[in-house]
């Protein structure tokens, strides 16, 4: 049986800006740069956001917000609003926020 475990070594080259970013992120987590690189490369993931898709989603959310504002304005003008309508609107809003937080705003990096 061997005394030492087998290892694989790989040389990676960074430009100065990239290296500063690695050092910054490692320091933020109180880690050595080598440990940070090893952990992020084995445990971390990279998330890619499709910006055109995201822009159309934001546009639709703004339209929904405008519709809600119009409903609230009309309710104030008529001085009449039903509690069930408010609860339904709040439920829809909470559901939308839940979906967005699960799909868009959940961090994908394990340590950041």
If you count DSSP H runs as helices and E runs as strands, how many of each does the chain have, helices first?
4, 0
Q: To the nearest whole number, what is the mean pLDDT of the chain?
A: 76
Q: How far apart are CA 48 and CA 108, in angstroms?
A: 10
> Predicted confidence band at 108 (pLDDT cuts at 50, 70, 90)?
very low
**pLDDT at residue 22 in the model:** 92
| Residue 59 φ then ψ, to 5° | -60, -45
pLDDT band at 49 (very low <50, low <70, confident <90, very high): low
**Segments making up each domain of the chain, as ranges:** 10-43, 51-103
Exposure string for 20-46, b = 16+ CB within 10 A, e = fewer: eebeebbeeeebeeeebbeebeeeeee
Q: Which residue has the tokens 């979906």?
A: 99
Question: How is residue 110 annotated by DSSP?
Answer: S
What does the pLDDT read at residue 112? 43
């Amino acid at each position: 049986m061997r005394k030492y475990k087998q290892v694989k070594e790989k040389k990676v080259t960074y430009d100065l800006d990239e290296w500063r970013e690695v050092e910054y992120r490692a320091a933020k987590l109180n880690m050595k740069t080598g440990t940070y690189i090893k952990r992020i490369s084995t445990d971390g993931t990279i998330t890619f956001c499709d910006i055109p898709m995201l822009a159309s989603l934001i546009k639709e959310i703004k339209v929904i917000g405008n519709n809600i504002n119009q409903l609230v304005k009309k309710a104030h003008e008529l001085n009449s609003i039903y509690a069930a309508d408010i609860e339904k609107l709040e439920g829809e809003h909470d559901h939308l926020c839940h979906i967005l937080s699960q799909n868009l705003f959940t961090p994908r990096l394990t340590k950041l």
